[in-house]
Structure 1
Amino acid sequence: MLIVACGHESTSEPTFECTGTATTICPDDDIAAKVDAAPPGTAFQLRAALHRLQQLSPKAGQSFADEAGAVLSGARLLTEWAQEGNHWIHGGQSQAGEVRLASSCQPTRPRCAFPEEFFIDDILLQHIGRREEVGPGKWYFDYAADRVYIADVPTGRRVEISVLPWAIYSAALNVTLENLIVEKYASPA
């Protein structure tokens, strides 16, 4: 089994054209569909770009030799915000990842058992346990109301919340990954 769920975002531009017999995957392609449709042993090349909200399950012998700057992201971009008092609110957040043992959380990190993470311009915010504690650098997820709350002004910024639990999941043998950045997945701790 292969589970990958960490990395850093890159803003690199493509550095070369796809060559050889690799199946090219562009940013708007459905990666899972291409991988599922291909036979074992297929070589893939993800273009240097952000491939948002994608998951794949490679088959035996499949390889991914990607352009430098190819990024898989499990985060949804949040753009429609409403202001309510000192808070900014975004609704429609119906994802609820697998929660692990909350009893192992430190008092200063009460929501460590929840897999969702929140980023503003690639900076990780602290997930807090009560809406009243929302302040700069902190966020709150009201799971019952499907809403997130922040104090930082989101206007003109890239605001993301992790939603997918994994990027790559497979028990296949001889799968190769090269030059792939994997980031912002809501993987259970």
Structure 2
Amino acid sequence: MDKVAASSFPAGPSQAPACTGVTITPDQDAADVVDIGQAGTTYCFAAGVHRISRTIHPKTNSTLGSDQGAVLTGSVPLTGWTASNGDWVIKGVLPAAYGQTGQCEDNVANICYLREQVFFNGKHLKRVNSQDKVAPGTFYADYAGNAVLLGDNPQGQAVEMSKTPTAIESGAGGVTVRGLTVEHFATAQWFSPGEWQQAGLDAGSRFTTG
């Protein structure tokens, strides 16, 4: 599957408990705030969309929470599109091409290992594996040419691409995440004993959501 990074993961109940601690606002770099904090700190994300440009690494017994419905997103806006042969293209936004790890269930298209996803007004677009298959509702990521192509006119629309690999990573014990929605991260889908990675969360067995 290539949709793990596109999913939303609400880490906690819809009515999260009150959060008291160090406040993080959408205009702050959450990773920086947590980096300078002490073990055992509670971080309370204020309402709004927090663009996570760098993975957060909480220390032992830390809590990342929100009682205001905060959203952590790993996507970046894409602007500056140009029309090209019936498609729309933007250049210079992709990482360098990277190799495949594992095996795709669909070994014909063979694109499940590609992490970057594109969202059009919040809707996840379907990835296609060649430029000639681009149509409305789809996108093609040309890593060799460092270009993204759309079949929909992006003018005046909100187009975003997942970029940050993960929102939160921690091997520390006693880390809790609650009341947050984590979405649009460029997360690879993999599982190994004692660890899991889903929708931008990557942690060991002592990592708790609730």
TM-score normalized by the length of structure 1: 0.84
**Superposition RMSD on alpha carbons, in Å?**
2.5
Give, in whole Å, the separation in 2 of the partners of 1:151 and 1:142: 14
* Cα offset, 1:110, TM superposition: 3.5
* Cα offset, 1:43, TM superposition: 1.0
Structure 1 runs of 4+ aligned residues shifted over 4 Å read 4-7, 96-99
Q: Which residue of 2 aligns with 1:155?
A: 155
Give, in whole Å, the separation in 1 of the partners of 2:5 and 2:176: 16
- The answer to whether 1:47 aligns with 2:53 is no
* Cα offset, 1:67, TM superposition: 2.9
Instruction: Confirm or deny: 8 A CA contact 2:5 2:188 kept in the other structure.
Output: no
Q: Which residue of 2 aligns with 1:34?
A: 33
Q: Which residue of 2 aligns with 1:173?
A: 173
Q: Which residue of 2 aligns with 1:124?
A: 124
Q: Which runs of 5+ in 1 are unaligned?
A: 11-17
Instruction: Confirm or deny: 8 A CA contact 1:110 1:128 kept in the other structure.
Output: no
Q: What fraction of aligned residue pairs are identical, expressed as a percent?
A: 32
Q: Which residue of 2 aligns with 1:89?
A: 89
CA distance 1:32–1:85, change in 2 (3 Å): same
TM-score normalized by the length of structure 2: 0.76
1:52-91 equivalence runs, <5 A: 52-54=51-53, 55-91=55-91
SS for the counterpart of 2:65 is strand
Instruction: Confirm or deny: 8 A CA contact 1:97 1:188 kept in the other structure.
Output: no
Between Structure 1 and Structure 2, how many residues are aligned? 179
Q: Which runs of 5+ in 2 are unaligned?
A: 11-17, 190-210
Instruction: Confirm or deny: 8 A CA contact 2:45 2:64 kept in the other structure.
Output: yes
